Amino acid sequence: MLLKTLDAYDFVVPPVIRFGPGRIVEIGEVVASLGKRAWLVGSDRGLRQSTAKGQIEKSLSQAGIPWQIVATSCGEPTVDQVAAALAALPPGDRNGVVVVAVGGGSAIDLAKAIAAMVTNLPANTSGQDIDYDTVVIDHLEGVGGCLAIQHWPLPLVAVPTTAGTGAEATRNAVISCPRRRFKKSMRSWMMVPRAAIVDPQLTVSCDRATTAATGLDCITQLIESFVCRFKRPLPRALALEGLPKAVRALPRVLRDPTDLEARGAMSHAALMSGMALANAGLGMAHGVAAALGVECGTPHGVACALMLPVAIRVNSPVASADFAILERSIDPAASTDDGVAAAALLTRIQRLCLEAGVPQRLSDVGLRRERLDWLAENSGGSSLRGNPVELDPVSLREILAAIY
């Protein structure tokens, strides 16, 4: 029998990935291979409170790399934050600058946006100040001028201090705008970090809530990228490798935050989830999560965890075979009947969400019942387009009302 010809696909990942406990001490060497000086962008915990700060400073100094902190993230990045960071950047030549992102997905996304915008700002020939807010919005998908990233961003080295978002391996930065009530992506394959240093030791100081939310975000990404409409062979292979590790490791980390073996498994799974989603797509859980973040300020990982069991249930009629494959990757003794195995995966995820203590209903995150219509209307975007079951606002509203 002739083999079926594979569909064409692209696959983009960071050219350099250094994974393992203690690898943070190599950041000076990595930055020196990309440039001559470093701009640090990160979360307060990542840059000021964690043990990483001293190690980063020492490593950069030993490599002869001058550095300065140019922006500190506060929650998920907004248009205002990116614009303010751009306006406050050090003046002068950007030649040789490497952006170093230290923190969770929000900090890395802020750094990605800064690195991309610096080299894609309009020529300021009039002598007037640049309207950074408008420039940022114009480079987001679906709003403003929908401008593309045309020039290579500054080189970016991503150092995650959480295990979940996989932002160290993705090609987009998620930016929200509370004033205009949207959350959109700045996206380009050129925005994939030039290097990722994934050191599980940096995640040990994460509190339980952050560990749970980011861990379930990772699991959601692995599952949705495996079953989405745009699924591809390499992302699916990554999901099959990462998901069993994540579902076994997350309960261990929640019980013992110092379990470095489990922390390492979660960091590795998060990295794989980032590579998977960047080269495939996502689905309903992520589509609704973005809108929940806008409406209720729900942290992204919490919103994904709330929606993941619902997404599995909704998509099972058309994706039970894929869900069954995932369950068998976790439990080789799972049923050979696809429907039974898919149901077992749903039960497994529901139990994990209960153990993590994440919200189970939309009312738990502060959504008002009269906002269900708005939530259904605004849960579109690229994530929902990848969902195995096609959902319009009417059908989605019925699904959301059932979990209110």
Task: Give pLDDT tens digits for 334-352.
Answer: 999 999 999 999 999 999 9
User: Quick one: average pLDDT of 14-42?
Assistant: 97
- How high is the pLDDT of residue 128? 62
Are the C-beta atoms of residues 307 and 300 closer than 8 Å to each other? Answer: no
pLDDT band at 43 (very low <50, low <70, confident <90, very high): confident
pLDDT tens string 259-293? 999 999 999 999 999 999 999 999 999 999 999 99
Domain shared by 93 and 161, yes or no = yes
E runs forming strands in 88-194? 97-103, 156-160, 172-177, 182-187
More confident residue, 188 or 128: 188
Assign 125 a pLDDT band (cuts: 50, 70, 90): very low
Give a three-class secondary structure readout of 373-385.
Answer: HHHHHCCCHHHHH
Q: Looking at residues 169-196, what average pLDDT do you find?
A: 94
Band the pLDDT of 124: cuts 50, 70, 90. Answer: low
Mean pLDDT of 374-385: 89
Q: How confident is the model at residue 50 (pLDDT cuts 50, 70, 90)?
A: low
**DSSP-assigned letter for residue 124:** -
Specify whether 70 is located in the same domain as 161: yes
Q: Is 60 exceeded by the pLDDT of residue 1?
A: no
Mean pLDDT of 207-217: 96
Q: Token pair for residue 392?
A: 């319009």
Q: Are residues 177 and 275 in the same domain?
A: no
CATH assignment at residue 350: 1.20.1090.10
Q: Please report the pLDDT score of residue 2 as a whole number.
A: 56
Is the Cα torsion angle 13, 15, 19, 25 positive or negative in sign?
A: negative
Q: Do residues 170 and 218 both lie within one domain?
A: no
Query: Across residues 20-47, what is the average pLDDT?
Result: 93
Residue 315 and residue 274 share a domain: yes
Q: Please tell me whether the overall predicted TM-score, pTM, comes out greater than 0.85 for this model.
A: yes
Q: How much is the pLDDT for 138? A: 94
Find out whether 239 and 276 touch, Cβ atoms under 8 Å: yes
The answer on 282 and 147 residing in a single domain is no
How many whole angstroms separate alpha carbon 317 and alpha carbon 197? 40
Q: Which domain holds residue 244?
A: 208-402
Same domain, 168 and 311: no
Do 284 and 258 fall within a single domain?
Answer: yes
Q: How many domains does the chain have?
A: 2
Return the pLDDT at 127: 46
- Phi/psi region, residue 357 (left: phi>0; alpha: psi -120 to 50; beta: rest), is left
Tokens of 230: 């745009």
**Domain boundary, last residue among 182, 203, 224:** 203
Q: Which residue, 203, 218, 252, sits at the end of a domain?
A: 203
CATH number of the domain where residue 97 is located: 3.40.50.1970
Q: Would you place residue 372 in the very low, low, confident or very high pLDDT band (cuts 50, 70, 90)?
A: very high
Res 4: pLDDT: 67
Q: What's the CA dihedral at 292, 294, 298, 301 to 10 degrees? A: 80
Q: Do 350 and 369 have their domain in common?
A: yes
Residue 344 belongs to some domain of the structure: yes
Lookup result for tokens 């009417």: 394
Tell me the mean pLDDT in the region 184-201.
96
Q: Which comes out higher in pLDDT, residue 73 or 28? A: 28
Query: Is residue 187 domain-shared with residue 220, that is, in the same domain?
Result: no
What are the C-alpha distances in Å from 151 to residues 33, 50, 118, 382? 20, 34, 10, 23
Question: Domain check: are 226 and 177 in the same one?
Answer: no
What's the average model confidence in pLDDT over 126-153?
A: 86
Same domain, residue pair 196 and 333: no
d(CA 178, CA 47): 26
